[in-house]
Amino acid sequence: MPKVITSPVEQFPGPVTIADPMRIDQAQAVETAIRGIRALRDPEQPDKEIAQSDMDALAIPAIEASIEKWNLKGVTNFVPASPRVPSAELVSWLLIEVLKVYNGTGDVDDPNA
C-alpha cells in the first residue's frame, strides 16, 4: 500500500505519496543514489564540505522515481532546486522517507552497507 507523508517544509506544504512496495527500477534508483552519495565522501578528508547541489543531483532521481503522487504547494511533479534552503530541506526529508520504504524497516540505515 502506498505511503502518504506530509511535508514538514514550510515553503512546500502538502502530502506526497511514495510507492510501497517499490518496483525494481525504483529500488535501483535508490541504490544508485546511495552509491553516488557515498562516493562523494573522501575518506582522506572527512571534514571536506560536499556541495548540497551535488548530493541533491544524486538523490533527486531516486526520489522522483519513488513518488507516485505530488500535492506540494507550488510543486507539480518534480523536486525543486530553489529556493535553496527550503529545497535542500525538502530533498533531505524526502530521501529519508524514501529510504524508510526502501529498507522496509522504518529507518534509513542501508542494510547493504
What is the per-residue pLDDT across 26-84, written as a single tens digit (0 to 9) for each?
999 999 999 999 999 888 888 888 899 999 999 999 999 999 999 999 887 889 999 99
The pLDDT, as a whole number, for residue 110 is 45
Q: 0.85 cut: is pTM over it? A: yes
**Whole-angstrom Cα distance, residue 62 to residue 49?**
22
CB 66 within 8 A of CB 30: yes
**Whole-angstrom Cα distance, residue 62 to residue 27?**
8
Count of Cβ atoms closer than 10 Å to residue 56 Cβ: 21
Residues 6+ apart with CB under 8 A from 104: none
**Whole-angstrom Cα distance, residue 33 to residue 11?**
25
Mark 1-30 as b/e (b = at least 16 C-beta within 10 Å). Answer: eebebebebebbeeebebbbebeeebbebb
